[in-house]
């Protein structure tokens, strides 16, 4: 009962923020990756403007290394919502020699997304990008404002963040700058799952336990795919797993699990002492990995 | 489960980050990764006690300098309560970030170093806590281990705190004063074996006991964020005003005044997504339809007749200046309150108040970073605000510099009056 009250408070806040973005900016866009946070965002946006349609398009920066289940789900959801989906491909940035494919065992396209994203923002003239990042994910995320101003290079300057008072959101920016807006900043992973349960939201199947061919590397389980540079020390096994967070196939680790319903996933997450981001291999590159990527314009 | 929003503040090296780390650690609320990081860093730095600060200092510059620069939001829950802690910087330079952290809090924790007693920043932080009308302020006298858990040291600081808080007459938050050691864990979550002379609660007990004050019924205030216009088979000529109710309640059928036009109409429908409701309350994001087609756009305020907010063209406010670029007498700014923005002129700087002596009123012709002042603005259009002490949700605004688009100040309405 009281969990519901808490979720309701969060929902009211998020809807307020999404409405502010729609009103204060000329050309907002919602960054959609197909993960549970994006799906929650899409649902909140639908609620914010109903019975009117969501007044902004969605943008997916496609690395080409996605889980096929996510892409299938994405397309179905967009059709259901009736929103315009814009897709920009990291492969195009590679073909244009703007970014270089990483090599070696840990090669991933995750950080390459930044260039594709910044190009898309510039090309399409977006002045606000809504994203499903949460402050509880990681400690540099914990420093993020709800409206986070980025310069014309997409850079985040943590030292120069604007004060943000009460729920008064200052969306005024100079030409060329953009704002990254985070309506679910104050949600935790647990809140997102409880909300998905309450609202009965559908998720890509990979969030629930399934049998999969996996690569065991450094104690982590990665999905077997053509995108992964498999080395001799990797162990290939069949395993029952689920994904707690969904990024690229190359850098998102699974957890061994038999939780195949929302209820059991919530129960299992609660019992776990590990964090969600612990499954993002890219964040483990160094203590400051995510902050450095954000400074460079990453989400 | 209820939610408590807390902000922490203190001077540099008072050990805020360590306190939060300790609070989470002893409440068993850290993840495995965080615990491993603490252990790793403790060994790397060759420390005797666990280094908790690594949990909250999320920026490279913070770790380099060993200070907190910007607000970190920390989320954790215990059996009975969810917490959001805004861990705010102590450094004078970053006071603006402390105001940012505290603006959404209900309670604040102010750390005092037992060896140093009250510092200028302690006064500033208390001033801001009471200015924001936070209902509980917890003073943690930290580093008691470094003064041999001496009761006299604690009592002396406690009396200084009492003298400070008594200088403020109009607002009286609940005050708690606790002797702690974040590093050793005394009186944070577990009662200390070293302070037998202290009979009061631990910090954790205080944080769990703070009860959200029953809100007195406030006048209804609703500002339009977006106008939703729909024409389809299901919704024939639907016009709804989307917004969040800032205070009070509304029922279907209630007559409302639409400001600034002063036109009247009645509530036809209160909607949230695909459901309609007969009433709605403060904090709810709703879509309201009216009986009549009335000119209402973003920034329009709905209120009930008989309890209208004042809509004069000038207002008097307490202002905290948040920018290095000085606030100037006669300067032109933009005031924003929720979805409302107006052009404004800084008409008068009545005085600046030194935080350590709030009864003193110092003349000033400009506003420097962190100055707390009493000012008057002349507005190009009315803002329809309430006095902050009577209605927090509709009594504050931010000041934006139109040259830089930066948020340069925050104001708390003290009075609205005709020019």
- Interface probe, candidates B53, B60, B215, B285, chain A, greatest A C-beta count within 10 A: B285
pLDDT digits (tens, 9 = 90+) for B264-322: 999 999 999 999 999 999 999 999 999 998 889 999 999 999 999 988 889 999 999 99
Mean pLDDT for the stretch of residues A189-196 = 96
Strands A128-130 vs A28-31: parallel, antiparallel or unpaired: parallel
- What is the average pLDDT score of chain B? 91
Would you state the pLDDT for residue B419? 42
Would you state the pLDDT for residue B18? 87
Contact B411, B347 (CB under 8 A): no
Mean pLDDT for the stretch of residues A257-266 = 96
Provide, as residue numbers in chain A, all residues whose Cβ is less than 8 Å from the Cβ of B55: 139
Q: Give the one of A167, A186, A274 whose C-beta lies nearest to B33's C-beta.
A: A274
Residue with tokens 């290939």: A236
Q: Give the one of A47, A141, A174 whose C-beta lies nearest to B273's C-beta.
A: A47
CA distance B283 to chain A (A): 7
CA distance B24 to chain A (A): 13
CB contact under 8 A, B234 and A51: yes
Phi, psi of B239 (to 5 degrees): -130, 115
User: If pLDDT is split at 50, 70 and 90, which confidence band does B110 have?
Assistant: very high
Is it the case that residue A153 has pLDDT exceeding 90? no
CB contact under 8 A, A161 and B99: no
Supply the DSSP string of B112-123, one letter for each residue: EETTT---HHHH
Lowest-confidence range among B25-39, B171-185, B387-401?
A: B25-39
Lowest-confidence range among A63-67, B61-65, B142-146, B244-248?
A: B61-65
Would you state the pLDDT for residue B93? 67
Lowest-confidence range among A96-110, A180-194, B7-21?
A: B7-21
Lowest-confidence range among A214-228, B34-48, B89-103, B255-269?
A: B89-103
Mean pLDDT for the stretch of residues A49-61 = 97
Mean pLDDT for the stretch of residues B239-261 = 97
Distances (CA, A) of B248 to A208, B76, B206, B261: 43, 30, 29, 21
Beta bridge partners, B290, equal B267
Is it the case that residue B1 has pLDDT exceeding 60? no
CA–CA gap between residue B1 and residue B8 (Å, rounded): 22
Provide, as residue numbers in chain A, all residues whose Cβ is less than 8 Å from the Cβ of B37: 287
Is it the case that residue B55 has pLDDT exceeding 80? no
Provide, as residue numbers in chain A, all residues whose Cβ is less than 8 Å from the Cβ of B63: 287
Mean pLDDT for the stretch of residues A185-209 = 96
Closest CA to A101 of A88, A86, A116, A87: A116
Q: What percent of chain B has pLDDT over 90?
A: 70
CA–CA gap between residue B45 and residue B43 (Å, rounded): 5
Provide, as residue numbers in chain B, all residues whose Cβ is less than 8 Å from the Cβ of A22: 226
What stretches of A136-234 show up as alpha helix (H) in DSSP?
189-199
B336 to chain A: closest CA residue: A168
Rounded to two decimals, the pTM is 0.94
Contact A155, A296 (CB under 8 A): yes
Mean pLDDT for the stretch of residues A35-50 = 97
CA–CA gap between residue B264 and residue A160 (Å, rounded): 45
Contact B227, A52 (CB under 8 A): no
Contact B339, B298 (CB under 8 A): yes
Would you state the pLDDT for residue B27? 93
- What is the average pLDDT score of chain A? 91
Mean pLDDT for the stretch of residues B132-146 = 95
How many other CB atoms are found less than 10 A from the CB of residue A31?
A: 22
Strands B340-352 vs B332-337: parallel, antiparallel or unpaired: antiparallel
CA distance A89 to chain B (A): 30
CA distance B183 to chain A (A): 21
Mark A141-178 as b/e (b = at least 16 C-beta within 10 Å). bbbbbbbbbbeeebebebeebbbbbbbbbbbbbeeebb
CA–CA gap between residue B376 and residue B391 (Å, rounded): 19
Q: On the CB side of B249, how many CA atoms lie within 13 Å of its CA?
A: 10
| DSSP helix/strand/coil, B144 | helix
Comparing B69 with A142, the larger pLDDT belongs to A142
What stretches of B168-318 show up as alpha helix (H) in DSSP?
203-209
Mark A269-288 as b/e (b = at least 16 C-beta within 10 Å). beeeeebbbbbbbbbbbebb
CA–CA gap between residue B225 and residue A240 (Å, rounded): 47
pLDDT digits (tens, 9 = 90+) for A2-21: 778 889 999 999 999 999 99
Closest CA to A43 of A85, A88, A83: A83
Would you state the pLDDT for residue A279? 61
Structure tokens that stand for A299 in this block: 């989400």
Is it the case that residue B168 has pLDDT exceeding 70? yes
Mean pLDDT for the stretch of residues A155-178 = 89
B324 to chain A: closest CA residue: A160
Mean pLDDT for the stretch of residues B186-211 = 96
Q: What percent of chain A has pLDDT over 90?
A: 70
Structure tokens that stand for B314 in this block: 């000038």
Vertex B142 angle, CA B139 and B146, to 5° = 155
DSSP A206: G
Q: Give the one of A11, A13, A168 whose C-beta lies nearest to B398's C-beta.
A: A168
How many other CB atoms are found less than 10 A from the CB of residue B165?
A: 18
Would you state the pLDDT for residue B165? 93
Provide, as residue numbers in chain A, all residues whose Cβ is less than 8 Å from the Cβ of B333: none
Provide, as residue numbers in chain B, all residues whose Cβ is less than 8 Å from the Cβ of A136: 73, 75
Lowest-confidence range among A126-135, A250-259, B8-17, B332-341?
A: B8-17
CA distance B103 to chain A (A): 5
CB contact under 8 A, B3 and A9: yes
CA distance B33 to chain A (A): 6
CB contact under 8 A, B322 and A163: yes
Q: Does the predicted interface ipTM exceed a cut of 0.85?
A: yes
Would you state the pLDDT for residue A275? 74
Is it the case that residue B15 has pLDDT exceeding 70? yes
Phi, psi of B276 (to 5 degrees): -115, 155
Give Cα B363 to chain centroid, integer Å.
Answer: 27
Is it the case that residue B382 has pLDDT exceeding 70? yes
User: If pLDDT is split at 50, 70 and 90, which confidence band does A1 have?
Assistant: very low
Would you state the pLDDT for residue A104? 87
pLDDT digits (tens, 9 = 90+) for A83-114: 999 999 999 999 999 999 988 888 888 888 99
Provide, as residue numbers in chain A, all residues whose Cβ is less than 8 Å from the Cβ of B235: 51
Provide, as residue numbers in chain B, all residues whose Cβ is less than 8 Å from the Cβ of A5: 2
């Amino acid at each position: 009962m009281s969990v519901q009250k808490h979720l309701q408070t969060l929902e009211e806040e998020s809807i307020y923020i999404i409405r502010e973005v729609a009103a204060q900016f000329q050309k907002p866009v919602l960054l959609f990756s197909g993960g549970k946070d994006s799906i929650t965002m899409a649902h909140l946006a639908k609620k914010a403007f109903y019975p009117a349609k969501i007044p902004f398009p969605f943008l997916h920066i496609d690395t080409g290394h996605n889980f096929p289940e996510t892409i299938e789900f994405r397309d179905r959801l967009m059709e259901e919502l009736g929103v315009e989906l814009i897709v920009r491909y990291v492969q195009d940035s590679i073909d244009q020699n703007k970014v270089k494919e990483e090599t070696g065992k840990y090669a991933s396209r995750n950080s390459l997304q930044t260039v594709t994203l910044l190009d898309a923002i510039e090309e399409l003239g977006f002045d606000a990008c809504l994203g499903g990042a949460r402050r509880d994910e990681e400690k540099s995320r914990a420093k993020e404002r709800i409206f986070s101003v980025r310069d014309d290079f997409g850079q985040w300057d943590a030292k120069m963040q604007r004060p943000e008072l009460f729920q008064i959101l200052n969306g005024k920016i100079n030409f060329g700058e953009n704002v990254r807006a985070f309506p679910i900043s104050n949600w935790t992973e647990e809140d997102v799952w409880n909300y998905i349960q309450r609202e009965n939201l559908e998720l890509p199947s990979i969030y629930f336990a399934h049998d999969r061919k996996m690569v065991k590397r450094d104690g982590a389980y990665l999905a077997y795919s053509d995108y992964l540079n498999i080395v001799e020390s990797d162990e290939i096994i069949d395993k029952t797993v689920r994904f707690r967070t969904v990024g690229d196939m190359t850098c998102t680790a699974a957890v061994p699990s038999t939780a195949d319903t929302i209820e059991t996933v919530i129960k299992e997450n609660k019992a776990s002492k590990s964090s969600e981001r612990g499954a993002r291999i890219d964040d483990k590159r160094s203590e400051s990995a995510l902050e450095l990527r954000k400074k460079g314009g990453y989400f | 489960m209820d939610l408590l929003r807390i902000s922490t503040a203190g001077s540099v090296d008072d050990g805020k980050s360590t306190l939060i780390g300790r609070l989470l650690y002893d409440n068993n609320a850290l993840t495995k990764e965080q615990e491993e990081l603490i252990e790793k860093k403790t060994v790397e730095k060759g420390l005797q006690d666990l280094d908790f600060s690594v949990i909250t200092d999320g920026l490279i510059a913070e770790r380099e300098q060993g200070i907190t620069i910007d607000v970190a939001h920390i989320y954790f829950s215990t059996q009975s309560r969810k917490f959001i802690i805004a861990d705010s910087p102590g450094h004078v330079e970053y006071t603006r970030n402390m105001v940012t952290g505290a603006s959404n809090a209900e309670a604040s924790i102010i750390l005092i170093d037992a060896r140093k007693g009250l510092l200028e920043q302690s006064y500033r932080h208390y001033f801001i806590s009471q200015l924001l009308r936070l209902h509980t302020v917890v003073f943690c006298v930290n580093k008691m281990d470094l003064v041999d858990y001496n009761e006299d040291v604690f009592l002396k600081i406690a009396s200084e705190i009492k003298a400070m808080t008594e200088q403020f007459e109009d607002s009286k938050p609940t005050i708690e004063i606790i002797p702690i050691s974040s590093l050793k864990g005394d009186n944070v979550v577990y009662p200390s074996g070293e302070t037998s002379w202290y009979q009061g609660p631990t910090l954790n007990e205080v944080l769990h006991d703070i009860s959200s004050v029953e809100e007195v019924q406030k006048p209804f205030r609703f500002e339009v964020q977006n106008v939703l216009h729909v024409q389809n088979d299901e919704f024939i000529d639907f016009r709804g005003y989307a917004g969040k109710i800032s205070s009070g309640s509304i029922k279907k059928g209630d007559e409302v005044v639409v400001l600034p036009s002063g036109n009247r109409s009645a509530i036809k429908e209160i909607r949230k997504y695909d459901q309609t409701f007969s009433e709605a309350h403060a904090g709810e994001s709703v879509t309201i339809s009216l009986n009549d087609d009335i000119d209402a756009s973003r920034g329009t305020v709905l209120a009930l007749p008989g309890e209208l907010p004042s809509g004069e063209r000038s207002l008097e406010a307490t202002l905290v200046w948040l920018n290095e670029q000085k606030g100037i007498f006669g300067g032109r700014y933009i005031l924003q309150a929720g979805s409302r923005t107006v052009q404004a002129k800084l008409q008068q700087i009545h005085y600046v108040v030194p935080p350590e002596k709030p009864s003193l009123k110092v003349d000033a012709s400009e506003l420097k970073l962190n100055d707390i002042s009493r000012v008057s603005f002349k507005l190009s259009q009315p803002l329809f605000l309430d006095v902050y002490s009577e209605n927090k949700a509709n009594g504050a605004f931010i000041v934006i510099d139109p040259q830089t688009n930066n948020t340069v100040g925050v104001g708390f309405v003290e009075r609205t009056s005709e020019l």
